[in-house]
Structure 1
Amino acid sequence: MVVRKDDLHSLVERLQEPDQKTALDFLQYLIDRSERNPLSWEEIDRQEPDEEPLTEEELRQLKSDAGYVSGEVAKREFGLQVDLP
C-alpha cells in the first residue's frame, strides 16, 4: 500500500500538540526499527546462553497447566482480530 506523504503531513497537522510529540516518537521508533539488522537464526544459535535465572513469574508460567495459546487465538480473545465468514 502506497501512502502519500501529503496524507501523512495532513494527519500530523490535525493532531493536538501533545499528540504530535507522540506521533514523532512513534515515527522515530519505526525508523530505528527498520534500520536495525536483526540477528539471523545462525547468529542466535552461536551465542552463549545467558546465565540469568528465571523469575518467579517465568517459573510459574512454565509449571502452569494453562497450555499454549496461539497469537491468532489471543488476538480474537482481545478483540484485535475479526473472523471473516
Structure 2
Amino acid sequence: MAISKRELIKLIELLPDEANQSAFDYLKYLSIRHRPDWDEIALMEPDDVPLSEEEERQLKGSAEFMSWEEAMSELNLPTDIKP
C-alpha cells in the first residue's frame, strides 16, 4: 500500500509536542540517500551529544521490541488511519 505525503502530514500533526524531536530525527534519517552499513558505522567517531531523558529511559528499559500498535498507542495515535 502506497502512503501519500498527505497521510504522513496528518500523522505528524497528531503527534504530541514531546514526540516532535523523535519524529524529526527519524524522518531526517529516512531522508538520507546513502545510509552507512554496520562496517561504516563502526569506523565513525562517536558524537558528543548527551542522551536525552527519553533515550536514557529507553536504555534502562527491558523492552527490546515494540509493535506498531504499541508505538502508536504510546504516541496516542490511531492505528487505523484512513486516507
Range into which the TM-score falls when normalised by the shorter chain = 0.3 to 0.5
- Please identify the structure whose Cα radius of gyration is greater: 1
TM-score, reference length from structure 2: 0.39
TM-score, reference length from structure 1: 0.39
Choose between structure 1 and 2 for higher RCO, CA contacts under 8 A separated by at least 6 residues: 2
